[in-house]
């Protein structure tokens, strides 16, 4: 418990708010790399996932790519890209690493969201005269949105955790107190940095969990509540 007290004392020390490595600056760097990486990954993976889910083609390839990407060690990949691109392109190498790690979850969330839509609903939409674009945009995409948001949630949390290693190549972020504190044996600093990363991940997860819940169409939320109410036996 003494170490936790020292960690919180380190976190709330006035000097943590000043200088190049002030905690607000490190937090901003962490969020910047996270947002940029997830947006780039989403621009690549979401359209591809939607196309796979709508057409039913290429699913095996997508599953294979996703599985292979999940198996790649993030730190080793980042070091390899730094060596390939050169020390003058370290930020680009880091972003490419984070993008590659975010793609599998986004791809899976996009195509499983479309695949999960009841085929009878899609057939009914086509029977009403909807074009393929209308079927996708008004039916498949809307009903598959919760799973897509779930994919965004998983990808974002993975990137937040992985951006921590950016400090190894001097890119800042909340991993910097951890990376700097380990060789100096400042364990209160290491724990303080870990607490900040964990709190950031928990906060983002909470916000995206709420977004995922709100992404469920109103009609489905209402019918789900009605079924739950109907399943509760009446009290005698």
64-110 pLDDT, tens digit each: 777 777 777 777 888 888 888 877 788 888 899 899 889 989 998 98
pLDDT at 177 over 70: yes
pLDDT at 5 over 70: yes
Assigned domain for 68 exists: yes
- What per-residue confidence (pLDDT) applies to 40? 96
Average pLDDT value for the chain = 85
Written as one string, the DSSP assignment of 79-143 is HHHHHHH-GGGHHHHHHHHHHHHHHHHHHHHHHHHHHTS-HHHHHHHHHTT--HHHIIIIIIHHH
Min mean pLDDT across 3-12, 110-119, 222-231 is at: 222-231
pLDDT digits (tens, 9 = 90+) for 14-46: 888 888 889 999 999 999 999 999 999 999 999
pLDDT at 232 over 90: no
Assigned domain for 13 exists: no
CA 149-151-157 angle, to 5 degrees, is 100
Assigned domain for 87 exists: yes
Q: Which domain holds residue 186?
A: 2-8+23-226
CATH of the domain at 97: 1.10.3720.10
- What per-residue confidence (pLDDT) applies to 202? 96
Assigned domain for 116 exists: yes
Assigned domain for 232 exists: no
Per-residue pLDDT averaged across 173-178, rounded?
92
């Amino acid at each position: 418990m003494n170490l936790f007290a020292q960690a919180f004392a380190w976190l709330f020390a006035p000097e943590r708010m000043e200088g190049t490595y002030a905690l607000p600056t490190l937090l901003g760097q962490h969020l910047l790399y996270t947002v940029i990486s997830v947006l780039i990954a989403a621009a690549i993976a979401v359209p591809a996932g939607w196309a796979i889910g709508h057409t039913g083609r290429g699913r095996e390839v997508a599953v294979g790519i996703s599985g292979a990407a999940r198996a790649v060690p993030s730190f080793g990949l980042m070091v390899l890209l730094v060596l390939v691109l050169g020390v003058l392109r370290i930020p680009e190498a880091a972003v490419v690493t984070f993008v590659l790690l975010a793609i599998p979850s986004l791809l899976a969330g996009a195509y499983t969201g479309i695949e999960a839509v009841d085929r009878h609903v899609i057939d009914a939409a086509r029977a009403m005269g909807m074009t393929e674009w209308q079927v996708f945009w008004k039916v498949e995409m809307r009903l598959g949105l919760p799973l897509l948001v779930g994919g965004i949630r998983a990808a974002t949390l993975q990137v937040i955790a992985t951006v921590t290693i950016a400090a190894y190549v001097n890119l800042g972020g909340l991993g910097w107190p951890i990376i700097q504190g380990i060789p100096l044996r400042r364990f209160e600093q290491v724990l303080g940095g870990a607490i900040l990363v964990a709190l950031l991940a928990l906060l983002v997860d909470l916000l995206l969990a709420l977004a995922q819940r709100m992404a469920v169409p109103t009609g489905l939320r209402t019918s789900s509540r009605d079924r739950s109410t109907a399943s509760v036996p009446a009290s005698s």
